[in-house]
């Protein structure tokens, strides 16, 4: 892989960024593998939102790997928040996505590392340790799982669609919690799943396992890397109303493209 996929004004070679992103995501994945079944002290950020010792250990490891190569870059991590001084280069990291699954011993969790230049995500690496899977993408360079190119599904009929979603931790407090859309989607599709790790859900969409995914209230660290993997695999991502999506958007509708309009209508109750 060469850096000619990035504009000439970008000084950073994509292959080096990708190598660092993959190394960091793999290291977090190794820690998760070693500590699965032994999550350590668990505390709550919110009555439903857990954080374990492993979330923090993974973020420390990722930050150390990225900081050793790119000490001047900004960093946004789920556990440590925002740091840096307004650099054009920013890393967006979920050290352990699917924390509740991990803490409960359910093998659906992931690490996620994205690199963005001037707000545009260009490099992504996600590791799903219990499945032995490493997903990655470079803007304009396609998406891969364990070295093989991946492509979204070609399912075009909503009643054949196998889709996934999730719910925000503040599901009880917010009006737009997605519960009604969940019911409508169950009736409209082949089946709906709620696996509990948005990074894994989006990687499954990119790999053609799921045909669509939607969720409200996700954070940039949940979607920055896996969002690029989906679009590089040929998928489409918008907000619920079809507007342009970015990792900081309040909601996400990601599909194989064929089902986008139909899923948007169900989410928005226009059918
Ligand atoms: C959570 C998972 C879950 C989604 C939640 C996220 P975390 O991330 O991705 O599937 O429904 O909204 O917050 O907290 O386990 O990193």
The CATH number assigned to the domain holding 192 equals 3.40.190.80
User: What mean pLDDT comes out for the span 147-168?
Assistant: 97
Summary mean pLDDT of the chain: 94
Q: What is the CATH number of the domain that holds 108?
A: 3.30.540.10
Q: From ligand 1's centre to the CA of 198, what distance in Å?
A: 6
1 CA distance to ligand 1 middle (Å): 32
Q: Which of 101, 116, 149 is the last residue of a domain?
A: 149
Q: What is the pLDDT of residue 175?
A: 79
Which residues partner with 90 through β-bridges?
74, 116
Ranges of H-type helices in the chain: 14-35, 53-69, 99-104, 179-188, 198-206, 220-232, 260-267
**Residues 250, 134 share a domain:** no
82-96 pLDDT, tens per residue? 999 899 999 999 999
Kindly give the number of the ligand 1 atom that is closest to the alpha carbon of 99.
Answer: 15
Asked if 143 and 169 sit in the same domain, the reply is no
Structural domain range at position 49: 14-149
Confidence (pLDDT) at 271? 60
Instruction: Locate the ligand 1 atom nearest the alpha carbon of residue 198 and give its number.
Output: 9
What 8-state DSSP symbol labels residue 175? S
Which value, in Å, is the radius of gyration of the alpha carbons in the chain? 18
Give pLDDT tens digits for 118-132.
Answer: 999 999 999 999 999
Q: Domain check: are 82 and 193 in the same one?
A: no
- What's the predicted TM-score (pTM) here? 0.95
Indicate whether 49 pLDDT > 90.
no
Q: Which of 179, 218, 249, 252 to mutate to test the pocket of ligand 1 (most atoms within 8 A of CB)?
A: 218
222 shares a domain with 105: no
Dist CA 128 CA 33 (whole Å): 10
Q: Which residue's entry shows tokens 């789920």?
A: 78
Domain co-membership, 222 together with 140: no
Q: 254 and 165 in one domain?
A: yes
Question: Do 61 and 162 reside in the same domain of the chain?
Answer: no
Answer whether residue 199 shows pLDDT above 50. Answer: yes
pLDDT band at 46 (very low <50, low <70, confident <90, very high): confident
Cα separation of 93 and 97, whole Å?
Answer: 10
**Residues composing the chain:** 271
pLDDT at 136: 98
Closest CA to 200 of 132, 120, 264, 123: 132
Residue 97 lies in a domain: yes
Within 6 A (CB) of ligand 1 lie: 78, 94, 97-100, 166-168, 196-198, 215, 218, 222
Give per-residue pLDDT as tens, 70-81: 999 999 999 999
pLDDT of residue 11: 62
Question: Which atom number of ligand 1 is nearest to the Cα of residue 195?
Answer: 10
What's the structural domain count of the chain?
2
For residues 236-256, give the mean pLDDT. 97
Regarding whether 189 and 82 lie in a shared domain, the answer is no
- Atom number in ligand 1 closest to CA 201: 10
* Spacing, Cα 11 to ligand 1 middle (Å): 34
pLDDT at residue 171 tops 80: yes
User: Residues 252, 101, 59, 26: what is their CA dihedral angle, to the nearest 10 degrees?
Assistant: -90
Give residue for tokens 């219990």: 130
Q: What is the dihedral of CA 60, 34, 16, 248, to 10 degrees?
A: -60
Per-residue confidence (pLDDT) for residue 1, from 0 to 100: 38
Q: Is 143 found in the same domain as 19?
A: yes
**Is residue 251 in a domain?**
yes
Q: What is the mean pLDDT of residues 186-208?
A: 98
Where residue 206 falls (left for φ over 0; alpha for ψ -120 to 50; beta otherwise) is alpha
Write down the pLDDT at residue 118: 94
Q: Which of 122, 149, 176 is the last residue of a domain?
A: 149
The residue from 149, 167, 196 where one domain ends is 149
Task: Kindly state whether residues 218 and 262 are assigned to the same domain.
Answer: yes
**One domain for residues 34 and 126:** yes
Shared domain for 91 and 29, answered yes or no, is yes
Looking at the predicted structure, is the pLDDT value of residue 161 above 50? yes
């Amino acid at each position: 892989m060469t850096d000619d996929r990035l504009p000439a004004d970008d000084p950073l070679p994509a292959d080096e960024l990708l190598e660092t992103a993959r190394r960091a995501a793999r290291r977090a994945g190794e820690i998760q593998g070693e500590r699965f079944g032994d999550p350590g002290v668990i505390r709550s950020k919110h009555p439903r939102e857990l954080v374990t010792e492993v979330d923090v250990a993974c973020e420390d490891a990722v930050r150390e790997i990225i900081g050793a190569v790119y000490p001047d870059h900004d960093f946004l991590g789920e556990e440590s928040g925002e740091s840096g001084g307004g650099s054009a280069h920013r890393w967006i990291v979920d050290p352990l996505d699917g924390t509740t699954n991990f803490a409960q011993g359910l093998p659906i969790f992931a690490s996620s590392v994205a690199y963005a230049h001037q707000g545009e995500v260009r490099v992504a690496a996600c590791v799903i340790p219990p499945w032995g899977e490493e997903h990655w993408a470079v803007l304009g360079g396609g998406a891969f799982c364990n070295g093989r190119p991946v492509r979204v599904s070609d399912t075009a009929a909503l009643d054949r669609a196998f889709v996934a979603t999730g719910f925000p931790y503040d599901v009880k407090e917010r009006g737009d919690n997605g519960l009604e859309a969940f019911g409508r989607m169950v009736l409209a599709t082949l089946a709906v799943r709620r696996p509990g790790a948005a990074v894994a859900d989006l990687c499954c969409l990119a790999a053609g396992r799921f045909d669509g995914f939607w969720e409200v209230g996700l954070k940039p660290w949940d979607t920055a890397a896996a969002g690029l993997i989906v679009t590089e695999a040929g998928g489409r991502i918008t907000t619920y109303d079809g507007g342009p999506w970015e990792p900081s958007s309040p909601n996400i509708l990601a599909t194989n493209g064929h089902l986008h309009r139909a899923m948007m209508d169900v989410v928005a109750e226009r059918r």
